[in-house]
């Protein structure tokens, strides 16, 4: 959900900024503004000693007295940091009237800009904002990042800043420049700076700058499993691939949250297929992979779940191999694993099931090829990748081959996502339950004794919905 804030870094050097308030909070704001090179005016009836000293040194200008609107004349932004809420609100209102950005300390609603928690490594800054609603959380995250980001990142940023023009001259093309940075940052330079071996770091940079990539860079394809939707389930290798991609060919079921993790300037092409609407054929997907890889681009074929579990990943790498295109496969968490876990259903359980079968049946012909006698055996779990199509045929075939009508099921819609729903009941009720609760794709069916644990073990999202045939009929 958007915070409604647009993040930016303001260039305040030599520009007038007003701080209203003369206490400890005001002092912290003044110190940060002075570090940014701002010309700071502090308005207050009296100043605490440290601010008095800054005024005597000529580093700040003291506006003595109660707040007056003319204090905002010619300032670029203002901070209200008094202990009087009414005064702070008056500063905010005056700033709004004059189109001056105002931050009111501890009052997100009255503020037109927010001051984030910051991590600084020389010229490199990382800002964290909670939209003003949870500043202590932002502060907590800042403290954690402080321990993880090496101080040498500041020296690295300074080096790259000094050499920026040389880098642009060597690599005027954005794509080539990006690949240079990838080689540079994956090479020895960062480690040399951490070891304070500055001359060796300068030599490593010069060598990397003069090492030219081939005139036509070799393209490649990475098949990445995006998981079922929760971006937290994307693997670290998958995240890295998304941030290296020039082109992303993604399925319809890849969540928007996962796509937001990709490099901003990567070209995104939806190649989704769904039952009854194959607007991008598999052959066309093969053509797109080959076209972009042959153009020297790094292509990510981003698939919901795992590429090798009903994802046709095997067909795609066969095509890539046949045409001499380099490829890699990054596994993803398949829907059966993720949906079951997020619904509180163990796929195996020593008291209920010793095996799991992953099944897909998108049409009548494919269902005819299934071994129904084997699928109907007890003490096993079926994870059916078929959305909500053909549930009536599935029920009838399983019961006809001996599966008990009272076998529990869990039908999980949008598994692992914020809008996850789980419908539970028995095999006999399955198609009616899906219809009554209007279950839609993407959905995964778990059938077997373990599904009976969903109500007791659920932990994510809303509690499972149990189908009530009598109530549904009365409705």
Q: Which residues are catalytic?
A: 251, 273
C-alpha closest to that of 302 among 271, 274, 281: 271
3-state secondary structure of 197: coil
Is the peptide bond prior to 442 cis by the omega test (within 30 degrees of 0)?
yes
Is the alpha carbon torsion for 68, 71, 77, 82 positive or negative?
Answer: negative
- Give kind and range of the element (H or E) at residue 412: strand 408-413
**How many whole angstroms separate alpha carbon 354 and alpha carbon 328?**
33
10 DSSP 8-state letter: -
The helix/strand/coil state of 202 is helix
Alpha-helical regions (H) of 8-48: 24-35
The C-alpha atoms of residue 39 and residue 114 are separated, in whole angstroms, by: 19
Distance CA 342, CA 454 (A): 10
Angle between helix 174-186 and helix 198-210 axes, rounded to 10 deg: 140
Residue pair 12/76 in contact by the 8 Å Cβ criterion: yes
In the beta sheet, which residues pair with residue 128? 117
Sheet with 16-20: list strands edge to edge. 60-64, 39-44, 16-20, 77-80, 101-104
Contact 420, 460 (CB under 8 A): yes
Task: Tell how strand 220-225 and strand 326-330 pair up.
Answer: parallel
User: What number of CA atoms fall less than 13 Å from residue 51's CA on the CB side?
Assistant: 26
**C-alpha span between 189 and 167 (Å, rounded):** 15
CA distance 238 to 243: 9
φ, ψ of residue 290 to 5 degrees: the values are -65, -45
Torsion sign across C-alpha atoms 139, 143, 146, 148: negative
Report phi then psi at 386, rounded to 5. -150, 15
Provide the Cα torsion 361, 367, 372, 376; round to 10°. Answer: 40
CA atoms within 13 A on the CB side of 395: 20
Which structure tokens are listed for 9?
Answer: 């870094």
Nearest to 74 by CA among 24, 47, 39, 109: 39
d(CA 466, CA 99): 55
Q: How many residues does the chain have?
A: 475
98's tokens: 């004059």
């Amino acid at each position: 959900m958007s915070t409604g804030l647009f993040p930016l870094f303001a260039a305040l050097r030599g520009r007038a900024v007003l701080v209203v308030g003369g206490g400890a909070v005001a002092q912290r704001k003044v110190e940060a503004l002075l570090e940014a090179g701002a010309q700071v005016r502090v308005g207050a009836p009296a100043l605490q000693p440290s601010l008095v000293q800054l005024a005597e040194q000529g580093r700040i200008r003291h506006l003595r007295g109660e707040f007056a609107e003319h204090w905002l004349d010619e300032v670029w932004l203002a901070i209200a940091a008094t202990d009087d809420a009414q005064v702070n609100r008056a500063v905010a209102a005056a700033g709004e009237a004059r189109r001056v950005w105002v931050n009111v300390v501890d009052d997100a609603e009255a503020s037109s800009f927010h001051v984030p928690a910051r991590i600084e490594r020389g010229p490199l800054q990382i800002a964290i904002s909670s939209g003003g609603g949870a500043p202590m959380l932002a502060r907590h995250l800042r403290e954690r990042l402080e321990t993880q980001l090496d101080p040498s990142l500041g020296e690295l940023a300074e080096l790259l800043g000094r050499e920026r023009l040389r880098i642009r001259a060597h690599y005027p093309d954005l794509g080539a420049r990006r690949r240079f940075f990838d080689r540079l940052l994956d090479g020895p330079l960062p480690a040399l700076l951490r070891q304070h071996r500055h001359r060796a770091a300068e030599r490593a940079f010069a060598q990397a700058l003069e090492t030219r990539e081939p005139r036509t860079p070799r393209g490649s394809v990475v098949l990445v499993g995006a998981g079922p939707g929760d971006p937290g389930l994307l693997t670290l290798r998958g995240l890295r691939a998304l941030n290296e991609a020039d082109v992303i060919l993604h399925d319809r079921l890849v969540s928007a949250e996962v796509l937001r993790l990709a490099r901003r300037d990567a070209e995104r092409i939806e190649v989704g297929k769904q039952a009854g609407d194959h607007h991008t054929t598999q052959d066309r997907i093969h053509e797109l992979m080959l076209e972009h890889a042959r153009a020297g681009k790094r292509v990510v074929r981003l698939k919901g779940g795992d590429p090798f579990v009903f994802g046709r990943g095997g067909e795609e790498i066969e095509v890539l191999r046949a045409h001499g295109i380099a490829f890699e496969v990054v596994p993803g968490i398949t829907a059966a694993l993720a949906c079951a876990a997020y619904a509180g259903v163990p796929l195996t359980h020593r008291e209920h099931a010793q095996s799991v079968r992953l099944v897909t049946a998108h049409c009548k012909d494919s269902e005819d090829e299934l071994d129904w006698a084997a699928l109907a055996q007890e003490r096993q779990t079926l994870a059916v990748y078929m959305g909500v199509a053909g549930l009536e045929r599935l029920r009838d075939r399983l019961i006809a081959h001996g599966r008990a009508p009272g076998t529990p099921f869990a039908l999980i819609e949008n598994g692992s996502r914020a809008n996850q729903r789980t419908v539970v009941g028995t095999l006999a009720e399955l198609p009616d339950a899906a219809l009554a609760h209007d279950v839609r794709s993407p959905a995964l069916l778990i059938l077997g004794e373990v599904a009976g644990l969903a109500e007791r073990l659920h932990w994510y999202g809303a509690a499972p919905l149990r189908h009530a045939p009598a109530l549904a009929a009365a409705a």
